[in-house]
Amino acid sequence: MNPELNARLSKLSDDLRAGRVDRAALFWLRVFADEVRQEFDRVVLLGMGGSSLAPEVLWRTFGWQDGYPALHMLDSTVPGAVQNVDGGGDLSGTLFIVASKSGTTLETMSFFRHFWKRTGGDGRQFVAITDPGTSLERLGNEKSFRRVFRNPPDIGGRYSALSLFGLVPAALLGIEVVTLLERAQAMAHRCSPDGSVEDNPGAVLGAMMAEAALAGRDKLSFVLSPGVSSFGLWVEQLVAESTGKNDKGIIPVVCEPPDAQLRCSADRLFIGVSLDDDRSEAFDRKLQAIETDGSPLTRIELADPYDLGAEFFRWEFATAVAGAVLGVNPFDQPNVAESKENTKRVLAGGGSPTEHAGPRRSRVGSLLEGVQQGDYVSIQAFMPPSEENDDRLAALCAALRDRVDAAVTLGYGPRYLHSTGQLHKGGPKTGHFFQVVVPVENDLGIPEADYSFGRLMAAQAQGDYEALRTRRRPIIRVADPTDLLELM
């Protein structure tokens, strides 16, 4: 093995293995979960990006476990999304997890202030997960949170699935975290840098991803069986934010349904992920069509949901290796701060005026005509996540795929700012963007802030719009998915 690559693999392995939790800690985590389920029937996770996506994948894949609380995610500042989680009723049966590595995440702390007021400041209903020494740790102690979990500080947010950010919610949902970690540790052993690269599943996957991207196949396209369809949410952030910088990057494509027509495979590397006995006919037909077409395809099969532990580790390792091969630092996110600073400026009243008039058909046509083979189109949807909106946006994605010979990606705002936002601004200059900002009908104030959730959402949308415009990325804003469909 190349000595330099071996040294990099050793360092990456050490960084990723830092997320292990000892058996004693796991025992007390189980005790805590048993305590919580006696008092609460719902857990609401307040977080963004790396602090929320792995728990969401675990919840959607494992489903509700008898005798344990249900999980609700809140990672949207759209007022309707906050109101949907709030419900307006009695919250005494709800435990809130405030998850933030830095302890200062604007969205997370805004959520906290809302629900702190709604619960009457009852610290027993709150749990914090954060790094040692953060303001959130101090806040949790001052306000007598039920528990404050201190995560190892040297684990990056998007690499934290197997740390307390992923394990605490998993335990509260009734998932056997010991089994989850045992699967991860088995994969970690197989990915040991002491062996050959050829026998290392993480190194092989990472090298394949990077070499494919360097050869023009930079669209990492996932075909997911129904039981693990949410896995794309997590891996999308991991790959996009880790590799999308210095005008390089791997572009994850995770929003295509199994029956979507493939019109541009020359720039794609396909990954098929399935749960045993979960594959549908549409899923199998899609993989067969890819193989018949001659496009590169890698199949990953999970024996049961606990194999997610192994896949979390494999993909973290592979993504770090891919970054090294591409020549970028897989552990930083240099372009994320730009949109954050723009958001602060807009909130302070110094931002450019938001577009209110709808775009002309000619502008939409011009943007779409500029999409070349090898490019991608991205929809950034500032609207409440829901099944209804999922369907509306899926229809928009399908229409765009029919119109352009390019991959189409989708992200809810502001979640995507903590996921694919780094790639959009720092990655390849091949993105074309439609920002869907639905007007706020019933706004919601944020306690102890001089702006509302609606104002925060608008500022985040405007901040990223300005960041993309500054970098000369083609972008158009519309007020509704239907508006864009009518203008296409």
User: DSSP labels for 398-430?
Assistant: HHHHHHSSSEEEEEETTGGGGTTHHHHHHS-TT
188 in a structural domain = no
Q: Which amino acid is at 478?
A: V
183 in a structural domain = no
Range of the domain at 290: 197-305+313-326
Same domain assignment for residues 429 and 381: yes
Same domain assignment for residues 34 and 155: yes
Backbone angles phi, psi at 450, to 5 degrees: -95, 20
**Angle at the Cα of 223 (from 218 to 227), degrees rounded to 5?**
140
Distance CA(241)–CA(332), nearest Å, equals 8
Q: With 50 as the cut, is the pLDDT of residue 18 above it?
A: no
Same domain assignment for residues 168 and 284: no
Is residue 136 within 8 A of residue 106, CB to CB? The reply is no
Cβ burial, residue 164 (10 Å; 0-12/13-18/19+): buried
Q: Convert the pLDDT of each residue in 277-291 to its tens digit.
A: 887 888 888 899 898
Is residue 75 within 8 A of residue 107, CB to CB? The reply is yes
**Strand bridging mode 268-275 / 219-224:** parallel
Tell me the whole-structure pTM to 2 decimals. Answer: 0.94
Which string of b and e fits 36-50 if b means at least 16 CB within 10 Å?
bbeebeebbbbbbbb
Contacts for 331 with CB less than 8 Å, ≥ 6 apart:
15, 156, 159, 242, 320, 323
Residue position matching structure tokens 């500032």: 382
Tell me, letter by letter, the H, E, C secondary structure of 90-117: CCCCEEEEEECCCCCCHHHHHHHHHHHH
Q: Convert the pLDDT of each residue in 345-404 to its tens digit.
A: 999 886 554 554 456 778 899 999 999 999 999 999 999 999 999 999 999 999 999 899
Same domain assignment for residues 66 and 170: yes
Same domain assignment for residues 65 and 110: yes
Q: Convert the pLDDT of each residue in 126-173 to its tens digit.
A: 999 999 999 999 999 999 999 999 998 888 889 999 999 999 999 999
Q: What is the total count of domains within the chain?
A: 3
Token pair recorded at residue 290:
């890819």
What Cα–Cα distance (Å) separates residue 107 from each residue in 240, 268, 299, 339, 438?
A: 21, 34, 37, 14, 19
pLDDT of residue 351: 57
Q: Convert the pLDDT of each residue in 236-251 to its tens digit.
A: 999 999 999 999 999 9
Same domain assignment for residues 297 and 353: no
Distance CA(201)–CA(13), nearest Å, equals 13
Please report, for the domain that includes residue 296, its CATH number: 3.40.50.10490
